[in-house]
Chain A
Amino acid sequence: MSKKDFSKFYNQHFNKIYRFVFFRVGAKRELAEDLTSAIFIKALEHFEDFDEEKSRSAWIFTIAHNHLVNYFRDNAKKKEISIDEMAENLETSAEEVVGFNRPELLVDGLKTILQNDTQRELLLILSKLSEDKQQLVTFKYLLGYNYAEIAEILKMTETAVKVATHRAMKELKESIKK
């Protein structure tokens, strides 16, 4: 694969991966930059091994996901915070717990950056949806993935993703009305 291929790959995925990391680390820009750099360095070093038959979106997302899981695991060790303690902190300090087990659930990280009441309320309601629905709304509207990419990452059909995302948005709308 040529440098041109890698450049195309970088341009296509950089923003989405950065946003994913940014939300996960509680909107700490410097840390997000650090982790995103490490993720793309890893991707570059294994770019030759990439199987052309597979989805690049799913591939880079897996690298990012695993990198964050490792980061949070190592960080938790350093801080000596147990999983139970983390769970207790969930309501009060999202920064401590973001991404510990499920980095793809971004809502906790988002709580820390919200100044706007409407957006805060929207996310609180979003966080009450089922995990699958949260994930679909996040991928589509917060990270900027298209339906085809989400289907590749979540190993679903594109039609199923469209239908499920539509239902999730409908549920979000109805919850807001209440």
Chain B
Amino acid sequence: MSWLNKYNLFQLKKKANPTKEFRNALWYKLSEHYDSVYQNSVPERNFGFAVLRYSAVALSLVLALTMGTGVYAYSSSDVSSVHPLFPVKRTLEKVEKKLAKTPAQKTTFNLKQLDRRRAELAKLDEASEAHTKAAEALDEAEEEGIKDLEGINSPEVRSNFIQKISESDLQNIASIQKNTDSKLVNEKVQKIKKRWQKLSEDQEKITETQMELQTKLHENINEKEVEISSFEN
């Protein structure tokens, strides 16, 4: 029967509905991004500007009221990986990362993300399951950051990130020393070793590229000097 088919299709459609949290979280980030993209494209007329300013204030109020959950999830360190609002937090973070266009902006985001995971971890009892999960989430964030760091040339960006990772690994080593499970200790040590090996290989690649560029630059300068001196002669 036609109505039954329509009903079954409707049920399927319902299964594919997005969650309210995702809808609100994405709008929250898009709204922020809208301001950064179109801030300077406000109409020149004063009236239009006033209206836009008014609507921006109204919108922030509406957002503050309707986005309470998302904002809380995003900003609170109480929302760790076992918290029901953690997926909302992750959605907001993912959107924020998508908005970061340059590798440097991505690393800035990754640093913020590491700080968040650390703050979440710090609030939990070390013996709890939530702590283990939060530690895994921190580990994932670190790996994500290391992956994004690949190929970044800026020494400042690199050193900021590496500084964070080394602080984290110092803590990891301290906690490993307390552990009595030799298999687990070995796994963790191997992981840290592998991570630093990758970071140093990346650094070597970058240094090599920089050296090559420097050599090319020197060669060009020498060629130009020869050209100039032959011209003068």
Footprint of B on A, CB under 8 Å? 2-4, 6-7, 10, 14-15, 18-19, 22-23, 27, 32-34, 36-38, 40-41, 44-45, 48, 110, 113-114, 116, 118-119, 122-123, 137, 141-144, 169-170, 172-173, 176
Contacts and interface: CB of A to CB of B under 8 A. Distances in A.
Nearest to B26: A37
Contact of A142 (B12, B34, B95): B12
Interface in B1-46: 1-2, 5-6, 8-13, 15-18, 22-23, 26-27, 29-31, 33-35, 37-38, 41
Given A3-B59, A172-B5, A173-B1, A143 B13 contact: yes
B13 A142 contact: yes
12 contacts: A7-B27, A27-B15, A33-B22, A40-B26, A41-B95, A41-B98, A110-B12, A119-B11, A122-B8, A141-B13, A142-B16, A170-B2
Judged by DSSP, the binding face of B is helix
Given A15-B17, A37-B95, A48-B41, A142 B9 contact: yes
A145 B177 CA distance: 60
Given A6-B34, A142-B16, A41 B99 contact: yes
Contacts of B95: 37, 41
A34 B94 contact: yes
Contacts of B35: 3
Contacts of B5: 122, 169, 172-173, 176
Given A36-B26, A143-B13, A173-B5, A15 B34 contact: no
Nearest to B91: A33
Given A37-B95, A37-B98, A45-B37, A14 B52 contact: no
Contacts of B15: 27, 113
B1 A2 contact: no
Nearest to A173: B2
Contacts of A32: 18
B62 to A, nearest CB: 9
